[in-house]
Chains A and B, each alone.
Chain A
Amino acid sequence: MSTPSPPKRYSPYLQLVLSRVREFYREPEALFWVYGFPLIMVIALGIAFRERRMEKFTIDVETGPAAEATLAALKPDDRLVPAVYDAATCRDRLRTGKTDLIVIGTPPNYVIRFDPTKPENVVARDVVDRRLQQAAGRKDAVTIKDEEAQEPGGRYIDFLVPGLVGMSLMGGGLWGVGFVTVDMRIRKLLKRFLATPMKRSHFLLSIMTSRMLFMIPEVLIVLVFARLAFGVRIFGNSFALLGLIFFGSVMFSGIGLLLASRARTLEAISGLMNLFMLPMWILSGIFFHTERFPVAIQPYLRILPLTPLIHALRGVMLEAAPLSSLAGDLTIMVAWSEGRAVRLGLRRRTSNLLPGFRLFPCATGFASAGTREQLRTFLQRRNWLSLNLQITMNLQITILDND
């Protein structure tokens, strides 16, 4: 038992990372939420938005002398599913959305009743229009041959996967770092660690490191699955993509730490994080393009931390954009990462870990060498964006201070 051996050296940083990793894989529920959830999202959404071209339109023909003839005229088109109902039923079905439109009348005078605000109803109207015209003897003046274009890279699933990667980086970073830190504080474990000669930088670096370790399979699973099941390809530079994912993860871990710095209960941190994430789920372009929102609010959407990350991920994955063309996105992300570093600097007990901490964002900033010039001009000009960013940060800090 007590054979005299040379004193072993233990690396505190390594031990801290090891404990985090052990705690993580010994928690099966956490494993599911981190790895299973994004996968389920990809599968569910991938299937839901797959193959939508053979759309069928339900057509109601109102009872009348020519109803059967109209029905016969519409039947040959396999996009149409026509049926005859009396006038009241037709209206009811249109109102409740069970049918796309109603055809009323006898040739040569038809009425088509439909809702022009629904795009699919408008399409159905045109198909019915053409069918009825042809049945009445109209001849096509020219011939047109359809050529189908469904290239990988342009489908919804291609659009979705970078969004989901961004979303899981956000969720993982905030929960994996913020929640864990608050939990440690509540258990007085943080205090217990501070009672030892442990270096605070080791502690924070270990939390960051373990987060990076957990993030790798998380992202890989989604990317590999999307590739195998849906043929989602990466068109840009894989290293650039890797860099972006890494940077995004650091940014959100940092924000998670920022949120955790004031929360005293698990409820508080959960609420705070949901409050922080909610706008981004909707507004940062995970599921649809931010350009769909009004132009007036676009600048605000752009400074949310998730928006530039997803935008840059899509740029690299779908458009093979070089990082230098994404300077705007990277600048906002650096600002978010630096912002929380500054915030941590304000805290007395954590101030001395700032050097180790700033390392990440700076390294990533330099990696995108082409952007440095742009970054400098950006910072010198102090345009509306940086101003806005500062206001957002200050607001956030005041909210936290009053917690």
Chain B
Amino acid sequence: MTTLLSAEGLHKSFGKTSALDGAGIAIREGEVVAIMGPSGSGKSTLLHCLAGILPPDSGTVTYRGQDLTAMTDNARSELRRTEFGFVFQFGQLVPELTCLENVALPLRLSGMKRKDAERASRDWMERLEVDTVADQRPGETSGGQGQRVAVARALVTAPKVVFADEPTGALDSLNGERVMHLLTTAARETGAAVVLVTHEARVAAYSDREVVVRDGRSRDVEFVR
């Protein structure tokens, strides 16, 4: 399998706080990688740097041979919109839109016609077993349903990489497992890689392998080798 996305020698500080101190990681096509480690170790910062949301102070992030850190902001946003999908712990759905409109949003932003966008979105909502809440607003769904809507929205653009930061953090075990099962099954079917930040071992157990971050340094067995 070829490396899809990798980072090397990442350093990132917030004021005097060093969040990343030489972190590195390599993600191959279609694999599900869990990033684990104690609170404050730099997991989210690593994910944000990998996804081109946050520029590292130094180090490189390479996606399919392109250096993300050397791209213009516009090119990076375009890449994020077309190649990446995102699922966070909460607060990612637009409250004024229905769940269906939320899922369709990335497609609409890419210029797809409303009808086509909503048809594709309905398919994904069915796969994630949330077609029943299509016409409700996010505030009118349960936490588990909301997360599955978010997963549908992350996958609707057929991304190459899905970034998920504690996607089950606000859910009970049963709903968390359901989200993980549906997310990883869908990602495996579409060939998307998943970069999953979690501190829960049972959630990480849905991955193919794990990378442990400690004090801003990551231990990526595959990468070191």
Judge: A and B partners, yes or no.
Answer: no
